[in-house]
Structure 1
Amino acid sequence: MTDDLTGDSAGDSSGSSSGTSAGATGILESVEVSGGTDEEAPSVEFDEPLDITGVAARTVVDGDGDAIEAGEQVRYQIVALNAEDGEVLGDTYSQGEPQVLPVDDTLKEQDAELYEVLTGSKVGAQVAYTRPAPEAVEGQPATPEQLIVLKVISAEQPPPEPEVLSPADVKKLDDDDQLPTFTFGDEGAPEVTIPDNEPSDDLVVKVLKEGTGEEITETDTITAKYAGWRWEDGEQFDSSYERGEPIEFPLTGVIEGWTKGLAGQKVGSQLLLVIPGPWAYGDPAPQGQPSGTLVFFVEITDKADAE
């Protein structure tokens, strides 16, 4: 991060037509972006190599949508280029759904330049961004200096924070056949049937079998057997049963839906968890993680003794 925030620089030759820029924006004065759509990466040209001496962000193509406001979350696509020779290193356009970035106090603290430029731009904007590459770790290849061009696809207020659904509301969903059900194979591995209705926006915790062991707290380390599926298509993405053994983990080191859903349960309990995206991996989730609402079967088999 840097303290060199220039703010709106309408008279600066490094600015876009709107002049929205922050940081060491002289680095980006040669960057030009053309073409592209919400689904296809644009062409990016610049004087090679870029001399990346600090953090910089600049709106290189103005958007024509609504102004982006602090507190909103933006959906975006990016293309990353090698700052030395302009080679495309990767993009999100080819991966399908746009990514999500909250324009909140966390972004303001961690990446003040990008925060300032986003809140000074409109939906549809193309934003050039760069920062010096981290120092190389001994024995590993150096990370190339990169130029990122980010396109804002949309901006909206984030969904309300989920809550833990009350037992009465869980029972109502269950009575109305709006919750997943499980069957079990010869080896005890669960299979799921997911109903056609939309999932709850809140965390669903249904006790299938109550254990008789110790009660779990949010700071405990536990051992559990589990399997997980995406609500939208029933695709299984993880299973300890396939690995052949339960997994030990701290409840402080897992997704929030697990922490909140398993706290207060007892060792030996079998549970259905329906976890909304904000308390899972997000919607969309980072690459390699399942998106949206997730369904889990969990059996708590043990709790580690406190040290």
Structure 2
Amino acid sequence: MRTLPAVLAVIGLSALALTGCASGTTAASCPTPSSVGDAAGLIDVSGAVGSQPTVHIGTPFHTPDTSFKTIETGKGTPITADDQLVVLGITVVSGADGKVLGTTTYGDLSQVQPLSFWTKILPGIRDAVQCATPGTRVAVALPPKGVSADAGLALGPKDSSVAVIDVEKVYLTKADGADQYNAGFGLPVVVRTDSGRPGVIVPDGSAPSELVVQTLKKGAGAAVTGKDPVRIHSLEVTWDDKQVVNTTWGGEPESVDLSSVSPDLAKALKGATVGSELLVVVPAGKDGASGGDQKQAHIYVIDILGLDAAAAG
């Protein structure tokens, strides 16, 4: 049995389709795709969600199409995008003899990957996990093309298989909290695309001489305490030059330990809740600037997407 791998110029406003207050997708508004065929109905799964399941199928098991069935339904943030960060528990069983071909480590919430990591290995699971929420278990009947040849599983070119997927954790793709009123005279204005990617309109006046922290969106999730790393999307822009210094948007969100960032950014993040978006202005001469230029103020827009768990062991 094989162990499966665990494994900022200011944004050009003319290039953005801007929206003032896009809200996050909820499970209730996320329709699960329909599957083709009925082979999933022949799969019997037992065991608790979050632990390796026992899978029973009649062998030899073969299907020309991908089909799936939901065994347990969870709640919370749904999976809505290929680049969304998730923790999945996966067991793959051979259709030829019903033996387990590979499994992830269950219950290790430090094994965070974008969904695309798993759909490259098991392309047939993409529709099955769309709109799935934490605590969901799905059984998927996979045709031969449903598993990548690079997966390293002992499958023949004509072999079908079964994957049982437990959704253990799902991160937000963007801040989904309630919009907050802020008296922002003289401060940057934040604009966003539908995907949540921010842009910053920097005023021509002087930057603040003291640290500014504003909550633009207030999330309903857990609070950042510093005990666990926080997963964020961020944009950093210089005040005077109006140049992007750093951005995680377009790539993978960053895992941040409060002890490894500047005191100003740690102060801004501590106590904020998952789902929140923060506007932070670090004045000139402070150590919050990641670009190395402390002669001018730096502006941060930070979306808090989730809290990371410590690595197992």
- Alignment TM-score > 0.5, same fold: no
- Structure 1 or 2, whichever has the larger Rg, is 1
TM-score range, shorter chain: 0.3 to 0.5
Q: Which has the higher contact order (CA 8 A, sep 6+)?
A: 2
When the two structures are superposed, what TM-score results if normalisation uses the length of structure 1? 0.38
